[in-house]
Structure 1
């Protein structure tokens, strides 16, 4: 099973609404399916265009490694050569920092990932988790 397009739209809308309510910088939010393919993406007005690659890299790492960005960052700090090798194996598409959210359904199955970029990594993660919860799914950073 994968995140549906409707769920992806809810995730993005809720994440961006929460970011606006907290007066954060303009964000980019991407939702990937369980295979790492883009389902939906939005970049707010004023967000740099390069934020897509960062958001996608955060989400890609989460779904490919089966762990959220915060856990990836800890792994990178503990085993930098391993993470460097993995990044090479995945074509340079990993951004192992908070803001990459692994997404599970209520049965615990991985259904995709969310990547948020544009604020501090901790703020990106909190906004992503809000979006995931709004869609009735479980997020792991």
Structure 2
């Protein structure tokens, strides 16, 4: 049996996910932001990486996951999800319910795309204000040569 098994296409690699996470936190330090937590999910919405800086508050991993999961679940960046949450509250409430409460429709959830536009995963960042969280996610994604889709 070949290792890895033939037939599985993994898209976002573990190395890329780890580098995205590390660069996301590094950008937060360059900007002197509050302690951040970053979650990187693959195209199936499964964890590839999670890093929580010292001093990050209790629920930051869940919030970061919710930002990434919300984005990957609808294939829309956090900025677009926030617009839709304001315009279509009933739909977004139902979406959150269907996602088991694990969808946070705000900036800071950023899709990871390849150069062809294919979604490879998503990054969620929590710890500072959402706009700054998003800046850090974009820096992390860009650092590995992939395309950040904020939903702008």
Name the TM-score class by shorter chain.
over 0.9
Residue of 14, 17, 29 corresponding to 1:8:
17
Give the length in aligned residue pairs.
141
Residue 100 of structure 1: aligned partner: 109
Q: Considering only aligned residues, what root-mean-square deviation do their CA atoms show, in Å?
A: 0.7
Contiguous gaps of at least 5 residues in structure 1:
none
Contiguous gaps of at least 5 residues in structure 2:
1-9
Normalising by the residue count of structure 1, what TM-score does the alignment of the two structures yield?
A: 0.98
Deviation at 1:49, TM superposition (A): 2.6
Residue 29 of structure 2: aligned partner: 20
Normalising by the residue count of structure 2, what TM-score does the alignment of the two structures yield?
A: 0.91
Q: Which runs of 4+ in 1 moved over 6 A?
A: none
Residue 46 of structure 2: aligned partner: 37
Residue 63 of structure 2: aligned partner: 54
- Does 1:71 find its partner at 2:71? no
Residue of 132, 137, 140 corresponding to 1:131:
140
- Does 1:114 find its partner at 2:149? no
The structure that has the greater radius of gyration is: 2
Deviation at 1:2, TM superposition (A): 2.4
